Amino acid sequence: MGLLSNRVQRESLKPGDHIYSWRAAYIYAHHGIYVGDDKVIHFTRRGQEVGTGTVLDVLLISSGPARSHQPCSTCTPPEEGQGVMSSCLNCFLSGGVLYRFEYAVTPALFLAKARGGTCTLAVSDPDDAVVHRAKYLLENGFGCYNLFKNNCEDFAIYCKTGLLVVEQGTLGQSGQAVSIIGGPLAAVLSTPLRLVTTNVYGMAATAVAVYCASRYVGDIGMRKDVVKISAEDLTRRLATGLLQVVEPQISATPARGSPLLLTQ
């Protein structure tokens, strides 16, 4: 467990590990579950490793690592409309560096890692349960991809914990999505200080405090709007409409519909 980096060697991986690799000059990270035999199961937008469902795709795809145009003989081609896919480790990394997501970290360590999407306060389930969820969802799907509510990190965190955010209009489990929202939020909330002080250090400290607080309360290990649900029940609810699936629209703003909404 590192303070500055979660970088690991391939030899240290074991089935059930949640791994990720940074894309687009560290703007975005792609997450997946290592299931052994050099295979990674991960959730993508229409089978493409870098995709958000918004105009951010232009930036992410253009500045992402170079990918070979030759099809890989060992990877499973994604089905039409199916976002969960199996890739070899090389294709998953796509030229990037391998990192391992950390679970059950202390609050101090969580806050020390200022960048979201690298660790969580939540506790992981046993490795065999994690691998089972990933393989089951490979066959049955995980709903529609959405950058802020149902992305690759959400998929990996669900596989590790079985926890799912179920309230409409809220962010998903993803720490990097919380960071994207938390930065501008911190700036907005700290702006009123300009009316009572010209101390730039005070305003900066307040902005940092608001940002850290938003990350902490938004972490899957602290949230109250989550439910533990099995992969079998998840896909059954998706199939029967008890979980509403909303396809995000390509636009400059994130889709407002919640891709995974539990209804009674």
Q: Is 42 a catalytic residue?
A: yes
Selected catalytic residue, list 91, 119, 144, 152: 152
Selected catalytic residue, list 42, 119, 144, 159: 42
Asked if 131 contacts 35 with a C-beta cutoff of 8 angstroms, the reply is: yes
**What DSSP letter does each residue of 156-218 carry, written as one string?**
HHHHHH-EEE-STTS--S-HHHHHHHHHHHHHHHHGGGGGT---HHHHHHHHHHHHHHHHHHH
The torsion region of residue 57 among left (phi > 0), alpha (psi -120 to 50) and beta comes to: alpha
Q: What's phi and psi for 32, nearest 5 deg?
A: -165, 175
Q: Is 18 a catalytic residue?
A: no
Q: Is 30 a catalytic residue?
A: yes
Selected catalytic residue, list 30, 31, 119, 159: 30
- CA distances (Å), 174 to each of 9, 152, 180, in order? 24, 8, 10
The residues carrying an active-site annotation are: 30, 42, 152
